[in-house]
Amino acid sequence: MSVPDTPSSAAALAGGAWGDAVIKFGNSFGAVAGFLAILLLVFFVAGRARGRLARPLAIAVFLGPAVLLLLVGLVVPLLRTVYLSLRNDDGTRFVGGENYGWAFTTESVQEVLVNTLLWLVIAPLAATGLGLVLALLVDRMRGQAVYKSLIFMPMAISLVGASIIFKFVYESRGPGQSQIGLLSQLAVALGWDDPPNWMLSQPLNTFLLMAVMVWVQTGFAMVVLSAAIKAIPDEVTEAARLDGAGGVRLFWYVTVPMIRTTVVVVLTTVMITTLKAFDIVRTMTGGNFGTQVLANEMYSQSFVQFNTGRGGALAVILFLAVLPLVAYNIVQLRKERGVR
Amino acid sequence: MTLNPTVSSRSSRRRLIAVPALLAALALTAACSNSSGGSGDGGGGGGQSLSGDCAKYQPYAGHSGTTVTMFASILSPESDNLEKSWAEFSRCTGIRISYEGSNDFESQLPVRVAGGNTPDFAIIPQPGLLAQMVKSGKVVKPPAGTVANQDRWSPVWKTYGSVNGTFYAAPMSANMKSLVWYSPKSFKAAGYEVPKTWADLMALSERIARAGAAKPWCGGIASGTATGWPATDWLEEVVLGTYGGEVYDQWVGHRVKFSDEKITTAMRTVADWMQNPAWVNGGYGDVKSIATTTFQDAGAPLLTGKCLMLQQASFYKAQWPKDTRIGPDGDIFAFHLPAVNPAIPSPVEGGGEFLTAFASRPEVQAVQNYLSSSEWASSRVRTATGWVSANQGVDKSLYTDPIDRLSADALTDPGATFRFDASDMMPAAVGSGQEWKSLTAWFAEGQSIQKTAADIDAAWPQ
């Protein structure tokens, strides 16, 4: 049987791909150029203004785009989400608080809320604590730049990439088969003949998923905390040493209080990342086996099961959970700025 | 280039404005000239008449230099075959088909449609998703040519491309799910025969398990965010093969609930088959390992003889390594899964992909007409194996691959009890939500049949 895969059709395909790339490049280039042109025009007009109009116009020109983007990108979607959360699955009928009632009374969603809470407490504490310890240890080592880069490296990997790496680590085979996952192989090497199927062992699997987040975020915590530790004036540590403080006491009574605000900022930043993290759960278990979290359930309700009402309600709950963290973060940053 | 709005002299300001504008104009001209120059060489100008090899595309001519976009879940290398199959059409008519594949298609399509970034075409594999898209009001009814082409498919397919009795999307491909993959070599070495009835199949499984060298069955239901779908297939096969098409249709429409005795009995049959600790899961572990084994990996132990059978669709052929000999005497082949109840004539559960249009521009309709024709179907079959059409206009001798041939015969057999994948037709909250979730829990956590059925029923939209 002849296959009509002539060189000419292959060439046409390749040409198509090139043409496509050129068009896409041209389009994005044109878009950027057009945007710059409009920006220049606006600046030009604003720059021409004189007299009483000058100041308000300048404010409008510089603040306008930011406010507009904030409205389009945050405020309007937020209002729309709240609106959708009060309506039925395809947004055609008002149902009041039904979706919120569903969220708090359904067994599977309660499990999701508990899991999210666990993530929120454990993952940031572990990442920040580990980061702090590493910052202290690595700061004293020779060639610290190398170690720091290595520890910081996972930060450069996307959460999906990190999840795929850990998926291989947690891979499991039944007894009698050769283990291909690192964790199972380690368990076997340590004399555990029949290690469990890690991803299926509740509640262990939730903590194993958190390990991915900790692995990625520890480097970030370490780098920021290490900078804060280095910023502690030498006189302070010197004085404390003269007073007889050393080791653990120096750490608890001098170092930690001096970097307290930084610790809080790191902790809340990781918390917010954790609340939003659905990629890990989505990649590793798809939310099955009792590992579901709020962000992933929201995505699943809205975009897999097409229930925008329930998805919206979960999004609002998530938003309300993040809000105090963000507010606290801002207050802390303000305080810190006040001190300096 | 630095942009400084506080430059003082007026002339330099003017120059700065002119440069981006000129660049934008240049970029646009470049983009336009390329799109027409790159693909219009075979056709010629406006009211073109095609000759030679291209003559057969005359009905689709007259839209040279246009581009239609297509979005689907088919990824390379599968999509390369698709593009090759319409390369000649594109070259002759000058209509470029810009194809984009995503493995996140099912969730991305609604986002793109709702967001105004709608493709001209989407290849939708689930009637449920098609109904969802029709509901959004963006799907365009097909032109007369496409409707006429549809008559080459058996009437039941037209209903699967329709929503509330209105025909929207023509099927492009069909696949047969009612297959059991096995190793003819291993079967021959051990003296096993391909079973003809469900009772034979169960007896054979028992015999293989007793022999002890291998588990009879392999299985895997993990599939990223779609984890659980192979388990829905097992249940569907058993429901269709036990009760026939009528009960199956009622079940799809929730007139027969999951907690109905008929369906729980079917679940019991599935449990005796794929949750039997002595029968599964060859090469991977216990029954629970089915939940964490991806469907792609599930069949690999067939090649090493750790298990002897795997129930999977015809498209599973793509998962075997390149050098695997597939055929009645080869390393791997497949047989038609027998009916649980011998009174049901040749039950075939299948799937398919439907070409859905979101635009009615003339070039879009030309592509729609072409891709629904038996000429295109034949062209795709000729391009590469692994593609089956239930279009009666395709010459069966074009299928060079025994699995494709087997599937095509079953799919076009007028005596078969053909039904579309049930979970693909149920509402998304069930078909791609709770049923996946609950059947996964059924395998992974040993959850009871009663609770599994009740949970799925509870998720059914009111």
Q: Residues B135-184: pLDDT tens digits?
A: 888 999 999 999 999 988 888 888 899 999 999 999 999 989 999 999 99
Same domain, A31 and A111: no
pLDDT interval class at B14 (50, 70, 90): very low
Q: What is the largest CA-CA distance in chain B?
A: 94
CA distance A187 to A197: 12
- In the predicted structure, residue B431 carries a pLDDT above the cut 90: no
> A227 lies in a domain?
yes
- In the predicted structure, residue A294 carries a pLDDT above the cut 80: yes
Nearest residue to B310 via CA among B230, B381, B385, B402: B230
> A47 lies in a domain?
yes
CA distance B371 to B162: 17
pLDDT interval class at A17 (50, 70, 90): low
Tokens describing residue A261: 């605000």
Same domain, A134 and A62: no
The residue out of A35, A56, A85 marking a domain boundary is A85
CATH number, domain containing residue A128: 1.10.3720.10
| pLDDT tens-digit map of B26-36 | 444 444 444 33
| Secondary structure class of A192 (helix, strand, coil) | coil
The answer to whether the CB atoms of A19 and B38 lie below 8 A apart is: yes
> A123 lies in a domain?
yes
Task: Output A285 or A14, whichever has higher pLDDT.
Answer: A285
Query: Contact at 8 Å (CB) between B152 and B393?
Result: yes
Same domain, A275 and A198: yes
Q: How far apart are the CA of A5 and the nearest CA of chain B, in angstroms?
A: 7
Same domain, A107 and A64: no
Same domain, A152 and A55: no
Nearest residue to B14 via CA among A35, A42, A40, A61: A40
Give me the count of residues in chain B.
462
**Does the CA dihedral B431-B437-B438-B444 come out positive or negative?**
positive
The answer to whether the CB atoms of B35 and A26 lie below 8 A apart is: no
Residues on chain A touching B445 (C-beta within 8 angstroms): 200, 202, 289-290
CA distance A48 to B6: 10
Query: Contact at 8 Å (CB) between A84 and A91?
Result: yes
> A91 lies in a domain?
no
Q: Which among A1, A197, A299 is the nearest to B288, CB-wise? A: A197
> A237 lies in a domain?
yes
Tokens describing residue B25: 């104009």
The C-alpha angle B344, B348, B354, rounded to 5 degrees, equals 145
The answer to whether the CB atoms of B34 and A23 lie below 8 A apart is: yes
**Does the CA dihedral B390-B240-B177-B191 come out positive or negative?**
negative
* CB-based burial, A19-57: b 16+ in 10 Å, e otherwise: bbebbeebeebbeebbebbeebebbbebbeeeeeeeeeb
Which residue of chain B comes nearest to A311, CA vs CA?
A: B429
**Does the CA dihedral A109-A112-A114-A117 come out positive or negative?**
negative
| pLDDT tens-digit map of B365-374 | 999 999 999 9
- Supply the pLDDT for residue B90: 94
Query: Contact at 8 Å (CB) between B424 and B128?
Result: yes
Tell me B141's DSSP state: P
Same domain, A71 and A13: yes
Domain hosting A74: range is 7-85
The residue out of A56, A85, A114 marking a domain boundary is A85
When the pLDDT of each residue in chain A is averaged and rounded to a whole number, the result is: 85
Give residues with Cβ within 8 angstroms of A93, minimum separation 6.
A87
The answer to whether the CB atoms of A39 and B111 lie below 8 A apart is: no
**Three-state SS string across A251-299, please?**
HHHHHHHHCHHHHHHHHHHHHHHHHHCCHHHHHHCCCCCCCCCHHHHHH
The answer to whether the CB atoms of B445 and A177 lie below 8 A apart is: no
Using omega within 30 degrees of 0 as the cis cutoff, is the peptide bond preceding A203 cis?
A: yes
The residue out of A32, A51, A85 marking a domain boundary is A85
| pLDDT tens-digit map of A315-330 | 999 889 888 888 887 8
| pLDDT tens-digit map of A194-229 | 888 898 888 899 999 999 999 999 999 999 999 998
Same domain, A46 and A158: no
Give residues with Cβ within 8 angstroms of B171, minimum separation 6.
B153, B157, B160, B161, B352, B353, B354, B355, B389, B390
Mutation test of the interface with chain B: which of A44, A305, A307, A310, choosing the one with the most B Cβ atoms within 10 A?
Answer: A305
| Secondary structure class of B259 (helix, strand, coil) | coil
**How far are the Cα atoms of A25, A35, B98, B112 from residue A28, in angstroms, in the given order?**
5, 10, 17, 19
B357 sits in which H/E element: strand B347-357
> A94 lies in a domain?
no
When the pLDDT of each residue in chain B is averaged and rounded to a whole number, the result is: 86
The answer to whether the CB atoms of B285 and A20 lie below 8 A apart is: no
B189 backbone dihedrals φ, ψ, rounded to 5°: -60, -35
Q: How far apart are the CA of B286 and the nearest CA of chain A, in angstroms?
A: 6
> A1 lies in a domain?
no
Q: How many Å separate Cα B173 from the centre of its chain?
A: 8
The answer to whether the CB atoms of B24 and A5 lie below 8 A apart is: no
Same domain, A111 and A80: no
Mark out the alpha helices in A50-106 (DSSP H runs): 54-70, 76-85, 98-105
The answer to whether the CB atoms of A37 and B224 lie below 8 A apart is: no
| Secondary structure class of A226 (helix, strand, coil) | helix
Q: Which amino acid is at B298?
A: A
Residues on chain A touching B7 (C-beta within 8 angstroms): none
CA distance A228 to A339: 15
| pLDDT tens-digit map of B298-344 | 999 999 989 999 999 998 988 899 899 999 988 999 999 999 999 99
Q: Which amino acid is at A248?
A: V
Same domain, A260 and A190: yes
Residue found by looking up tokens 């809080």 in the block: A264
Nearest residue to A176 via CA among A164, A161, A188: A188
Average pLDDT over residues B46-63: 82
Same domain, A80 and A110: no
CA distance B124 to B146: 16
Q: How far apart are the CA of B225 and the nearest CA of chain A, in angstroms?
A: 5
A24 sits in which H/E element: helix A7-48
Same domain, A54 and A125: no
Tokens describing residue B155: 């009437």
> A208 lies in a domain?
yes
Q: The whole model's pTM is what?
A: 0.79
- In the predicted structure, residue B212 carries a pLDDT above the cut 70: yes
Nearest residue to A229 via CA among A90, A131, A110: A131
Residue found by looking up tokens 């009879």 in the block: B216
Q: What is the DSSP string of B61-105?
A: -S-TT-EEEEEES--TTHHHHHHHHTHHHHHHH--EEEEEE-TTH
- Supply the pLDDT for residue A16: 56
- In the predicted structure, residue B7 carries a pLDDT above the cut 80: no
CA distance A160 to A163: 5
Domain count along chain A:
2
Q: How far apart are the CA of B70 and the nearest CA of chain A, in angstroms?
A: 13
Same domain, A310 and A256: yes
Task: Using CA atoms of A88, A91, A93, A96 in order, give the dihedral in degrees to the nearest 10.
Answer: 50
Query: Contact at 8 Å (CB) between A298 and B107?
Result: no
